[in-house]
Homo-oligomer: A and B are copies of this chain.
Amino acid sequence: MTNMVILFTGAELLVNQLLFPAQDDQKSNPNVFVVGSTLQRLLNGAEDVGLFKEFQDGTMRGFTYANRESFKDFNGDGEGFLSDAECQYIIKHGLDTLRAKNEQHVPGYPKLKLYPGKSVVRRLQSKGVLIQYFPLHNKEDLKRLSFSWYKKFKLSFQPLDDIRHYFGEGLALYFGFLEYFTFALVPMALIGIPYYLFDWEDYDKYVLFAVFNLVWSTVFLEVWKRCSATLAYGWGTLSRKKAFEEPRAGFHGALGFNPVTGREEPVYPSSKRQLRIYLVSVPFVLLCLYLSFYVMMVYFDMEFWAINTYHENPNIATSILLFVPSIIYAVVIEIMNLLYRCAAEFLTDWGEPEILLFNFVNCFASLFYIAFVMQNMVLLRQSLATLLITSQILNQVMEAFLPYWLQRRRNKKVHKRMRRLMGDKELPLLGQVQLETEMNTYLGTFDDYLEQFLLFGYVSLFSCVYPLAAVLVVLNNITEVYSDAFKMCHVFKRPFSEPAANIGVWQLAFETMSIIAVVTNCALIGLSPQVKAYFPESDTQLILIVVAIEHVLLAFKFILAFVIPDVPKHIQVKLAKLDFDSLEALKKRVSTHLHMLWKYSVLNKTKHILKP
């Protein structure tokens, strides 16, 4: 079946068909194509997708082939100028934007029609002709990367530039954030240890710790914005305008003109989306929240039963029983989060804000209830500790060890099959393709960020009643770096690289959490027996003072966020300079017809696999 070749000939791709030895059944013997590209085509592609690279003068500029000699790292014919992830992005973009010109059949599939303007890859994928495509690992680079990343056991920063080079900016920013968050937690952990060891929480210092939390969570996020901008500028993604990018490339929908770029691309029906949100998402979210509250109430019943049992007959067995309800509840929470995630993806094809909301409510509702309705600080501490530790253990298992174990089993099976088919012949590429085809697909950074978001919540919302929380999170995140790194390199298929200028919606999510943290910490301070002791006769006065302090802190937080620039000065200057030069260039162009035609040329270097 050579019918897939039409996909590429028009696009000047380098395509090789991998020939597999005959296997037992026909179904597991797909046609596999490896897609590559010449360096010249990749460089032109870099211009087409609008990559920013470092210019001679140290600023980042949109790359053009004509100006290539003026870019800093461009030597000779440009070998090594583009990162691995960039090459991959260019090829992916090229494949995704391949659209049929005329209505025609796919040769060999009389029932499979291509419609003008529709994405060919998407069409082949949805019809099951193209089973999957993904970038192959680069064994050499991967070895070097994994060695410097997680194989040497010494205290050092992660090789973020190498990660970005191999996996792209999106993942590199996630690992940068993970590292930054972990380091930022260290002071809090260091303060937390003596608090926990010497039972300081029984004294006034409990209030001090809450105040520290407040300041910490604000400064933490403001400084991250600057770090993120510095990283993204150096990687060329900060200057690249998001708005010019195509919507999710393989998207199916009517073709229209992008009003900004003037390019033809699919348009998303916005009113339809609105309707779906209201008719499907809202009742669904409400139902799930109700279920979550119901489970919480069941948990409280169990908790009270356990406490009663312990009080009736205090011994070792019943004191262990005290922890059982929390542990069960923690496991149920994790399962519910997982179920909700699957259900949400099935119902609304990408309901990220709803998932976030549900996870937040699901994880923290019981803590809020214990803290502010029951006002039981002992139970709060116990519940927080159990939730945190259980969810950390579960996460590490679910996220890395389980997939790794499954992957190893699968590897062995593939190896066995390969050996049976080919004896001891060395077929390195064939073997690699076989192995990676069977690997699971990495679903993006959403789950990883979500986990950090929830940890941030545990630390910033309630840690003043359980100062060891920060220590636990630091320990978790140190192993998290290793397990995430390992999982990226060896458990999942190599993911498509995604350019990213910041952590996106997560910045907002973390900031919202830190605002909620101000409110929570102020309330916890107001509820603390030490503070209450200052106002023995009048609750009213205490509440008014706490509310006043909270308002001052919130105002201070906003002023701080306003005063600290999001982008460091020297990068602001460079960005403004780019804008200025661009406008000057636009002025200088004596051309009345400013709408440019966009050429879709498909360019390729790394390898993609197609199964017809």
Interface residues of A (CB under 8 A from B): 47, 50, 56-57, 61-64, 66-67, 69-70, 241, 243-244, 259-262, 519, 539-540, 543-544, 547, 551, 573, 576-592, 594-596
Contacts and interface: CB of A to CB of B under 8 A. Distances in A.
Contact of A62 (B544, B587, B590): B587
A594 B576 contact: no
Contact of A241 (B63, B579, B588, B594): B579
Nearest to A62: B587
A262 B50 CA distance: 25
A573 B260 contact: yes
15 contacts: A47-B587, A62-B583, A62-B587, A63-B587, A67-B592, A241-B576, A241-B579, A243-B576, A261-B580, A519-B551, A540-B540, A543-B543, A581-B596, A585-B588, A585-B589
Given A540-B543, A581-B594, A584-B596, 19 more contacts: A47-B587, A61-B586, A62-B586, A66-B590, A70-B592, A241-B580, A241-B583, A244-B576, A244-B580, A244-B583, A261-B580, A519-B551, A543-B543, A578-B586, A581-B596, A582-B585, A582-B586, A585-B586, A589-B589
A260 B577 contact: yes
A62 B63 CA distance: 24
> Interface majority SS on A: helix, strand, loop or mixed?
helix
Contacts of A56: 592
Nearest to A572: B243
Contacts of A260: 573, 576-577, 580
Contact of A259 (B67, B241, B577): B577
B580 A67 contact: no
Given A259-B577, A580-B261, A594-B581, A587 B64 contact: yes
Nearest to A65: B587
Total copies of this chain within the assembly: 2
Contacts of A590: 64, 66-67
Nearest to A598: B584
Which among A69, A539, A586, A587 has the greatest number of chain B C-beta atoms within 10 A? A586
Contacts of A578: 586
Contacts of A261: 577, 580
Contact of A543 (B544, B589, B596): B544
B576 A581 contact: no
Contacts of A595: 581
A587 B578 CA distance: 11
Contacts of A262: 577
Contacts of A584: 596
Which among A241, A261, A584 has the greatest number of chain B C-beta atoms within 10 A? A584
Contacts of A547: 543, 547
Contacts of A594: 57, 61, 581
Contacts of A592: 56, 67, 69-70
Q: Which A-B residue pairs are the 9 nearest by beta carbons?
A: A582-B582, A585-B586, A260-B576, A585-B585, A582-B586, A259-B573, A64-B587, A70-B592, A243-B576
Given A540-B540, A551-B519, A592-B70, A50 B573 contact: no
Contacts of A596: 581, 584
Which among A57, A544, A581, A592 has the greatest number of chain B C-beta atoms within 10 A? A581
Nearest to A590: B66
A463 B580 CA distance: 47
Contacts of A241: 576, 579-580, 583
Contacts of A519: 551
A259 B572 CA distance: 10
Contact of A589 (B540, B577, B583, B588): B588
Contacts of A551: 519
A283 B591 CA distance: 58
Contacts of A543: 540, 543-544, 547
Contacts of A57: 594
Nearest to A64: B587
Contacts of A539: 540
Contacts of A586: 61-62, 578, 581-582, 585-586
A47 B241 CA distance: 26
Nearest to A50: B583
Nearest to A66: B590
A285 B303 CA distance: 57
Contacts of A585: 582, 585-586, 588-589
Contacts of A582: 579, 582-583, 585-586
A252 to B, nearest CB: 23
A45 to B, nearest CB: 14
Contacts of A540: 539-540, 543
Contacts of A573: 259-260
Contacts of A576: 241, 243-244, 260
A45 B469 CA distance: 64
Nearest to A542: B540
Nearest to A263: B580
A395 B267 CA distance: 54
Contacts of A70: 592
A102 B228 CA distance: 46
Contacts of A588: 64, 66, 585, 589
Nearest to A372: B544
A547 B551 CA distance: 11
A13 to B, nearest CB: 24
Contacts of A66: 588, 590
A53 to B, nearest CB: 12
Contacts of A63: 587
Contacts of A589: 585, 588-589
